[in-house]
Amino acid sequence: MIYPHMLNIVQRRNIHPLSTLIITFTYIFVVASFHSYAFIEMIPLSLYPIAMIIFCRLSIRHIKHVLIASLPFATVIGVSQLLFIDEHILFFHWYIEARWMAFSTFVLKNTLAILAATVLFLTTPIEQLAGALLSLRIPRFLVIQLLLTHRYIFLFLEEAKRLREAYMLRAPRHRAIKLSVWGSLVGHLLLRTFDRAERVYEAMTLRGFSIQHMHIKIKRWTTEEMIYTYVTVILFIVYRLVVI
């Protein structure tokens, strides 16, 4: 009975930010809590982000880019598993090297956590997330720091894109930016984004912005949304407790 309601909530892409936040944190916690060789046990957990991507009709392209960007970091950190583990474990009927199982599990954990976080950011505007954090009693100045950092990241990316375009137009034969100009380019990028961020901040202060008075909307949590959250969180926890 409740399930069609839940689907409806998800499909409207209008999930309460508090629900998405609690579910995502629980999900990441559950994923991270599995032991180092739990590769198979974790596969069913991939259903959650996949279901969210399908129901919320999220852009696969966006998600693909995020995953590709995170993969090198996960791989580099995961390599430590290959260096320090030296034992064999039973995998179905075969004895295999544990290091490879640990490495694969680590990359899978990372991928699932990044997927869940990406789903969170794609389904919930940052202002609503800020409201959800406030309703969880996170200190106001931390929440505003998060909002301003989020704004700065976009200014940074925008300026970086302009700089890259300007470089590529004047270096049409280069496939990438030359190593020798990286220093100057990054320096310029930082100075330009600082300037831009300052102008945006000036625009905010002229319109009465202050940390104490910044308006952050906190949406009401409906019973449906509450049930959807509890059911999903309980499902994750039960799965974690059953599959040890």
Partner 1 sequence: MISVSNVFYVYPDGHEAIRDLSFSVQKGESIGIIGANGAGKSTLLKLLVGLYTPQSGCIVIDNMRMSKQTLRHIRQIVGFTFQQADDQLFMPTVYDDVAFALRNDGINENEVNQRVANALTIVGAMHLKDRPPYRLSEGEKRLVTIATVLAMKPKILLMDEPTAALDPKARRTLIHLVQELPHTKIVTTHDLDFVLECCERTIVLANGTIVYDGPTENVLTNEPFLHEHHLELPLMLQKKK
- Per rule CB under 8 A, is residue 240 in the interface with partner 1? no
Q: Total number of residues binding partner 1 (CB under 8 A)?
A: 18
- Per rule CB under 8 A, is residue 125 in the interface with partner 1? yes
* Residue from the set 164, 196, 219, 240 that interacts with partner 1 by CB under 8 A: 196
Closest distance between partner 1 and the C-beta of residue 168, in Å? Answer: 22
- Per rule CB under 8 A, is residue 220 in the interface with partner 1? no
Q: Which two tokens stand for residue 43?
A: 């596969």
What is the helix (H) or strand (E) element at residue 6, kind and residue range? helix 2-11
Print the binding letters for residues 82-121 with partner 1: x by CB under 8 A, - otherwise. ----------------------------------------
Contact by Cβ (8 Å): 148, 204: no
Site for partner 1, residues 140 to 169, rule: CB under 8 A: 151
- Given the rule CB under 8 A, which of 43-51, 67-75, 88-96, 205-213 is the region that contacts partner 1? 205-213
Q: Which is nearer to partner 1, 107 or 148 (CB)?
A: 148
Q: Which is nearer to partner 1, 127 or 238 (CB)?
A: 127
CA-to-CA distance for 56 and 7, rounded, in angstroms?
Answer: 10
92: phi > 0 → left, psi -120 to 50 → alpha, else beta; which?
A: left
Residue type, 210: S
How many CB atoms are located within 10 Å of the residue 189 CB? 16
How would you class 19 by CB atoms within 10 Å of its CB: exposed for 0-12, middle for 13-18, buried for 19 or more?
buried
- Per rule CB under 8 A, is residue 122 in the interface with partner 1? no
* Residue from the set 205, 222, 238, 243 that interacts with partner 1 by CB under 8 A: 205
Closest distance between partner 1 and the C-beta of residue 159, in Å? Answer: 11
Chain position carrying tokens 């996170």: 138
Selection from 17, 10, 8 nearest residue 216 by Cα: 17
* SS3 state at 129: helix
Binding residues for partner 1 (CB under 8 A):
125, 127, 151, 196, 199-200, 202-210, 213-215
